[in-house]
Chains A and B, each alone.
Chain A
Amino acid sequence: MGTAALGCPAERSSAVVNQPGSKPLKSLATPYNRAHHRFAVFTACATFVLIIAGALVTSNDAGLSIPDWPTSFGSFSVPPLHGGIKYEWSHRAIAGSIVLLTISIAAWTWRTDRRRWMKWLGIAALGTVITQAILGGLTVLLFQPPWVSSAHAAVGQTFFCIAVAIAMFTGRRWVEEVPQIEFDSRRPSLITLTLLSIFVLYVQLILGAMFRHHGMSWWPHIANSAIVAFVLTWTAVRALSQFSKIEAVRRPAIILVSLLIAQLCLGFVAFLTRVAWGRDAVQPELPMVISTVAHVAVGALLLATAVILAIQVWRQVPVSFEEPVPSRTRKPVAA
């Protein structure tokens, strides 16, 4: 039995492989473009602000304070910003700016980035933000059905992850550095654990959004938090114990654990303020608004960190597996 290390080709992002007489590979390296990267980072940061603005809308029960969409009270001008209108209109204004930023980053990437998959990632970001805008419109026009509002929350965080990924893929480290490769022979593999982390975080995101939008009780979200804590801790411990020498893996793994602890604490506070103490509240109170908005924001950061870790593990830690080598033990056949 022989062993052959196979797995993800770590050089995919940077190597230009042109053999004489052959066609160039479609996945070409691209030079580092500082302005492009900074714009991508700005877009990701602005998206994070948008997530906070969206969380403020839900936490202040202001989602339907403007009854029409895409206009606001029949016009595109700024309405009087009192009561819940200030939250909803600010969310719409920031969202409109994000659409423009995404169109710009998609066009810029399409024109300047040589990596074909990056061009399509820019287009995917644009498609996601348009889907998100449509879901935002539907949630207003259909009076916030829990599934539509929850889809709006989930797609919003998906877009944030894409924006963060674009920022990472355009960074100097990703473009210029040669990955430190270490093969992963343990099972389940680290890449499996990171993908499992993303999955349980998505489930948690949907359960939380369904609770926030009155489509489900609070207990499935609380119950799943134990699963999330277990899977994320397992992932981070594996990453840190086995691949701590790789900075690109070590750093997001440490951030993942730190954010997980913060998120569990915030979740507990949000439960106290909203469910235990705020059940009979006549209006959203400041402690419940602050705790739930912080819980949503840290949740978004946690999901984005899990995505970064998965991408870095995919790049730096190829999975090795044993491939059976046929042994020549067959008996000679008589002629």
Chain B
Amino acid sequence: MNKKTSVAMFGLLCLLSLWILAGCSKKEEPTEAQPSAPATTAAPTAAATPIDPSTAASVSGAVKFDGAAPKASKIDMSQDAACKGTNTAETIVVDGGKLANVFVYVKEGLGDRTFDLPKEAVTIDQKGCQYHPHVLGAMAGQNIEIKNDDPTTHNIHPTPQANREWNESQPPAAAPLQKSFAREEIMLPVKCNQHPWMRMYINVVKSPFYAVTGPDGKYEIKGLPPGDYTIAFVQEKLGEQTQKVTLAAKDSKTADATFKAQ
């Protein structure tokens, strides 16, 4: 092989590598009218374990914040003129000592019970260059509908540990994306790389027994069968707390939690 042949072979090899790599790239269709297929499909589950509604119990309460509430950070949205949302961060949202955006769920006690997937999708809305809601709960395999109500393009980029990572753009007025996550994962971060302040958390659980605290810090989980449970309270920055709760038939118990300022 002479020099010219070597150079030609090298060049061809480089071009081939680029071509193969380009083939790996998924083509984006920003104006696609049809919603995309779910990213992951949950494996078919066994028939749901029935719960007797006449014995169903509930647990409710409030999550408090102990200490001086941190001042919400200001967001600078000037890098995109189309972003005109509330420019405060939602990392820790406290109002009158009540802590919002805490994910509360039954962590232990349900054993091998299985549950039907809700037919309704949960929704994430991108509005004012913020995610609404900031903290979301969904069952594994449940459909998550992602809408863009902003006059600008976003990209939705979950960065899970246990589920498959994906990154898709969504231009203004595009059809909603339809996604789901197959495996349980708490505080799964979702971000937009075009607007780096945009961040939210999806909590994927196996049961329908979960709630997110509202601005008043309150939550309620209904329809639980009698039993001994561990209730977990998870906040994106303050971490997790757990409480043991024993529920008898038709019980309605209170489980409050308090997070201290760090």
Tell which of A66, A83, A283 touches B152, judged by Cβ atoms closer than 8 Å.
A83
A70 touches B22 (CB 8 A): yes
Tell which of A86, A110, A134 touches B17, judged by Cβ atoms closer than 8 Å.
A134
Instruction: Decide yes or no: A281 and B73 within 8 Å by CB, A65-B155, A69-B25, A70-B22 being known contacts.
Output: yes
- With the chains together, A138 CA to B192 CA distance in Å? 19
- Interface flag for B261 (CB, 8 Å): no
A83 touches B10 (CB 8 A): no
Closest chain B CB from A253 CB (angstroms): 36
Instruction: Decide yes or no: A284 and B28 within 8 Å by CB, A73-B169, A82-B81, A133-B18 being known contacts.
Output: no
Among listed A41-49, A55-63, A264-272, interface-contacting one: A55-63
> Which of chain A's residues has its CB closest to B20's CB?
A134
A binding-site residues for B, Cβ under 8 Å:
60-71, 73-74, 80, 82-86, 110, 123, 126-127, 130, 133-134, 137-138, 140-141, 143, 280-285
Dominant secondary structure of chain B at its interface with chain A: loop
Contacts of A60 in B (CB 8 A): 196
* CB neighbors of A among B1-48 (8 A): 7, 10, 14, 17-18, 21-22, 24-30
A74 touches B27 (CB 8 A): yes
* CB neighbors of A among B67-126 (8 A): 73, 75-76, 79-82, 89, 91
Q: List 25 A-B contacts (CB under 8 A).
A: A61-B196, A62-B194, A62-B196, A64-B167, A65-B155, A65-B193, A67-B26, A67-B157, A67-B167, A68-B26, A68-B27, A71-B25, A73-B153, A74-B28, A82-B153, A84-B79, A123-B10, A126-B14, A133-B18, A137-B21, A141-B21, A143-B159, A143-B165, A280-B91, A283-B197
Closest chain B CB from A146 CB (angstroms): 13
Contacts of A82 in B (CB 8 A): 79-82, 152-153, 194
Closest chain B CB from A149 CB (angstroms): 13
> Which of chain A's residues has its CB closest to B17's CB?
A134
> Which of chain A's residues has its CB closest to B158's CB?
A143
Contacts of A127 in B (CB 8 A): 10, 14
- Interface flag for B240 (CB, 8 Å): no
Tell which of B17, B79, B157, B169 touches A130, judged by Cβ atoms closer than 8 Å.
B17
Would you give the 0/1 interface string for B181-199, flagging 1 where the beta carbon is closer than 8 Å to chain A?
0000000000011111101
- Interface pairs A-B: 8 shortest CB-CB: A83-B194, A283-B197, A282-B89, A65-B193, A74-B28, A61-B196, A64-B193, A82-B80
Number of A-B contacts defined by CB within 8 Å: 110
Contacts of A141 in B (CB 8 A): 21, 24-25
- Interface flag for B168 (CB, 8 Å): yes
* CB neighbors of A among B158-186 (8 A): 159, 165, 167-169
- With the chains together, A141 CA to B21 CA distance in Å? 9
> Which of chain A's residues has its CB closest to B19's CB?
A70
Chain B interface residue count, CB cutoff 8 Å, equals: 40
> Which of chain A's residues has its CB closest to B72's CB?
A282
> Which of chain A's residues has its CB closest to B90's CB?
A282
17 additional contacts, CB 8 Å, given A73-B30, A127-B10, A283-B197? A64-B155, A66-B169, A67-B168, A68-B27, A70-B22, A74-B28, A80-B153, A82-B79, A82-B81, A82-B152, A82-B153, A133-B18, A134-B17, A134-B18, A280-B91, A281-B73, A282-B197
* CB neighbors of A among B203-225 (8 A): none
Closest chain B CB from A139 CB (angstroms): 11
A68 touches B28 (CB 8 A): yes
Tell which of A63, A83, A110 touches B79, judged by Cβ atoms closer than 8 Å.
A83
Contacts of A67 in B (CB 8 A): 26, 28, 155, 157, 167-169
Closest chain B CB from A69 CB (angstroms): 5
Closest chain A CB from B72 CB (angstroms): 9
> Which of chain A's residues has its CB closest to B76's CB?
A283
Among A60, A66, A68, A140, the one with the most B-chain Cβ atoms within 10 Å of its Cβ is: A68
A73 touches B152 (CB 8 A): no
Contacts of A84 in B (CB 8 A): 79, 193-196
Contacts of B237 in A (CB 8 A): 280
Closest chain A CB from B167 CB (angstroms): 4
- With the chains together, A80 CA to B152 CA distance in Å? 9
- With the chains together, A137 CA to B81 CA distance in Å? 29
- With the chains together, A284 CA to B76 CA distance in Å? 10
Instruction: Decide yes or no: A137 and B25 within 8 Å by CB, A73-B169, A282-B73 being known contacts.
Output: yes
- With the chains together, A282 CA to B92 CA distance in Å? 12
Closest chain A CB from B41 CB (angstroms): 21
Tell which of A64, A70, A80 touches B25, judged by Cβ atoms closer than 8 Å.
A70
Closest chain A CB from B56 CB (angstroms): 41
Tell which of A85, A138, A285 touches B194, judged by Cβ atoms closer than 8 Å.
A85
A143 touches B167 (CB 8 A): yes
> Which of chain A's residues has its CB closest to B88's CB?
A282
Closest chain A CB from B74 CB (angstroms): 8
Contacts of B21 in A (CB 8 A): 69-70, 134, 137-138, 141
- With the chains together, A69 CA to B75 CA distance in Å? 30
Closest chain B CB from A305 CB (angstroms): 30
Contacts of B26 in A (CB 8 A): 67-68
Contacts of B28 in A (CB 8 A): 67-68, 71, 73-74
